[in-house]
Structure 1
Amino acid sequence: MKGSLIALGQIGGRAVAALMVDGRIEDLALDPDGIAPGAILRGVVGRPVKGLGGVFIELPDGESGFLRAPKGLAPGQRILVQVTGVTEPGKALPLTQRLLFKSRYAIVTPEAPGLNVSRAIRDDGARADLSALADAAMQGADPSLGLILRSVCVAADDAEIAEDIAQMRALAEAVLADLDGPPELLVDAPGAHELAWRDWGDVDAVEDSADALEMCGALDQIEALRQPCVALDGGATMMIEPTRALIAVDVNTGADTSPAAGLKASIAAARDLPRQLRLRGLGGMVLVDFAPCPKRDRHVLEQVLNKAFRADAGEASLAGWTPLGNFELTRRRDRPILREWLA
């Protein structure tokens, strides 16, 4: 199937959304369990932990979070925080004080003033019109509130955009004024279907029938993601195996014995690695054992990796080569691990 499609469905009674492009699954959203990334909460500051460079935050329902590099906070103080990622059971949730109130067209940014239009919108006339719309919609707002208009605004109706801005502004103002009281969940994280509507932009079609995931091929591809082996071009393979400490990735050339087999397999793996990590919900430290290739070709792999991860929404940091010839990187844990979610 050519074109882009969002398939909305359920697996095991829980909502799932799949973004398909030319028949291949490009992104996956799963209904979260518990407090998930994007949730905004009122928390209570605990005692600082100097060795860890942060402070634990008391959250509702006995949960705890960890805030790095806090400034000017005192034990017992009420603060607003947002969950930035997922973690293993029993560990504190990663938090930030830089809140984002995000919807389809607008992102309201407390303590980050300014009115901005997505850089993806390059038409000067469209940018000027959207800037004027943003200025009008934010008239009278607290000067500390900022606004970002997202790229999908370019094809949207002005009234829709204005309504979206008004809703996000009202939500932000209400939450920012709600500092009194015990730890509480103030804004829940988006569900799978809401996240797809909010973040995946305009597509050619949306399918929400009972068998949408199966009809577009997403169900089979999701099932394949439970296996560690990824087939690459030319018969090469990539094994992706999470351990407690790191994600181990091993690239093999397969039956190809040509002199350039190692480089070809490694380039194919580097291009697909961000998508595979994203779909599988894997993050943390990643150690890649690329197929054998000359050291002089490593810069080629670095260029491919940089380009691939720049296009990925997850925050990644490419550390480089180890003395043993492996490549190290880290990726933010920003979603549930698919294999555990399906268990």
Structure 2
Amino acid sequence: MTEEILINVTPMETRVALVENGVLQEVHIERTLKRGIVGNIYKGKVVRVLPGMQAAFVDIGLDRAAFIHAAEISEREGQAVEPISALVHEGQALVVQVTKDPIGTKGARLTTQLSLPSRYLVYMPRTPHVGISLKIEDEAERERLRQIVAACVEAEGVEEPGGFILRTAAEGAREEDILADIRYVRRLWQQIDQQKKVAGAPSLIYEDLTLAVRTLRDLVNPRVEKIRIDSRETFQKIEQFVQELMPGIEDRLEHYPGERPIFDLYGIEDEIQRALERKVLLKSGGHLVIDQTEAMTTIDVNTGAFVGHRNLEETIFKTNLEAASAIARQLRLRNLGGIIIIDFIDMQDEEHQRQVLRALEKQLERDHAKTNIIGITELGLVQMTRKRTRESLEQVLTEACPCCAGRGIQKTAESVCYEIFREILREARAWQANAYMVLASQSVIDRLLDEESGNVADLELFIERPIKFQVEALYSQEQYDVVLL
């Protein structure tokens, strides 16, 4: 499997596309005016302590106060966590790191357990522990990495070495590359340590890398053959970063000067547009319906036009298998997080159920975000979670429709007509008028003059006043006004 990373840069935004075998798998967007803050370190001020929630609100200089739970401050774990009022008090300065961007009406999520990621590892200044990514399964490789870190730490001779977590990218990495990473994160930590001593509260102490550079740190792996950047200025910055920290991938960098927009190479613009739609078509003729709400995301699998060749159970199994692969891709592409409920088509055969779940798990192994399949409920629904740190593609690119207020539905023209009749009756009882003028959309006025014309005539007789109509081109179907003349 080959991968390619395309980076599209404009003054307003940076967009990154991860393409596997010519198919878009992930897209990341960072707007210049609304950069994400995950990974940033702030010196904040505690503004409110909530004993009932075991949490506190911290002012880090944003419009909304950020949220921190007692477990993210305490050195203890589980039930042993101290009461929040014993850990912090109002007005206290607190050095914190953002773990989740503000999403919707919720403020940012924080932790005091700071960490600094680099190419191969994550440095934890306050935790003397070496961990290794669970995705590195070879025990011999895990032991090799432990010994390399121990040797590097000893060679550096630092009294307080802190701890490290070896990332998946460290698999097969050379000792000198890991040592370079350790030196880099330690230098960075020394700068942050000095800054937090002199900074006021609230203030920003450390800002995470821009999306273009973060992409190299987080997404590049041995399968990535090319990294194409369409901005010469950004290409030069990335080249400098790579020379200092990732010299092994210099030959994969490429400045793309083509007249054809870089995202047109693999039809990425069309894919992004499709990723905003509810319905996802499957090659077999079936389809997915994806609904994103504040509480959770639901995914419904339907057979659609696919009827199979042998029997119904085979049809259902084939559709579900294809859906499992499509769902894993859509989760990455749309950056969906939190609780996810999948309603596969009901399967009678338990072996088929296991195979579909296994297919989903296997496809999710390539996901950079942490996922966890909890199992199948009594109703046959698959429950899973996917770590949410940044806004989904839908949240970045769209807003609630002003006509339906995000409901995705609107009242029928018939319903609006009957509302108008009731409003005219209310007005006739409350005020004396010579006539009434109804201002509404074209579809509603058409219905009033056609299907409802008999009801309009009856109403005019009842209130003993004429009713006139006027089309307002800018009104949505649910909007109307009744004006007294």
Change in 2 beyond 3 A, CA 1:315/1:106: closer
Deviations 1:107-154 (A, max 9, x none): 2112222455667395659648843663256421524x1134445456
2:218 is matched with 199
1:25 is matched with 24
Which runs of no fewer than 5 residues in structure 2 stay unpaired?
75-85, 230-255, 399-485
Q: Does 1:165 align with 2:172?
A: no
Change in 2 beyond 3 A, CA 1:256/1:89: closer
Change in 2 beyond 3 A, CA 1:149/1:135: same
User: In 1, distance between residues paired with 2:115 and 2:304?
Assistant: 46
**Structure 1 SS opposite 2:62:** helix
Answer with 110-119 or 322-331: which moved more. 110-119
Give the letter aligned to residue 284 of structure 1.
G
2:462 is matched with none
2:208 is matched with 189
User: In 1, distance between residues paired with 2:387 and 2:220?
Assistant: 22
Change in 2 beyond 3 A, CA 1:141/1:307: farther
Query: 1:6, CA displacement in angstroms?
Result: 0.9
Contact 1:106/1:168 (8 A) holds in 2: no
1:326 is matched with 381
Q: Does 1:86 align with 2:87?
A: no
**Structure of larger gyration radius:** 2
Count of equivalent residues:
341
Q: TM-score, structure 1 length as denominator?
A: 0.85
Deviations 1:74-99 (A, max 9, x none): 21322222222234333221222222
More helix by proportion, 1 or 2? 2
**Structure 1 SS opposite 2:87:** coil
Change in 2 beyond 3 A, CA 1:116/1:74: closer
Contact 2:7/2:14 (8 A) holds in 1: yes
1:38 is matched with 39
Residue from 132, 136, 160 that aligns with 1:142: 160
Relative contact order higher in (CA < 8 Å, ≥ 6 apart): 1
Query: 1:8, CA displacement in angstroms?
Result: 0.8
User: In 2, distance between residues paired with 1:117 and 1:322?
Assistant: 32
Change in 2 beyond 3 A, CA 1:85/1:272: farther
User: In 1, distance between residues paired with 2:147 and 2:204?
Assistant: 36
User: In 2, distance between residues paired with 1:168 and 1:107?
Assistant: 8
1:261 is matched with 315
Change in 2 beyond 3 A, CA 1:114/1:333: closer
Q: Percent identity?
A: 27
Give the letter aligned to residue 204 of structure 1.
E
Change in 2 beyond 3 A, CA 1:324/1:21: same
More strand by proportion, 1 or 2? 1
Residue from 343, 359, 367 that aligns with 1:304: 359
**Structure 2 SS opposite 1:336:** coil
Residue from 60, 63, 87 that aligns with 1:73: 87
Q: Does 1:112 align with 2:133?
A: no
Residue from 260, 278, 302 that aligns with 1:228: 278
Deviations 1:186-219 (A, max 9, x none): 2223322112100112311111126322223333
User: In 1, distance between residues paired with 2:364 and 2:132?
Assistant: 23
2:368 is matched with 313
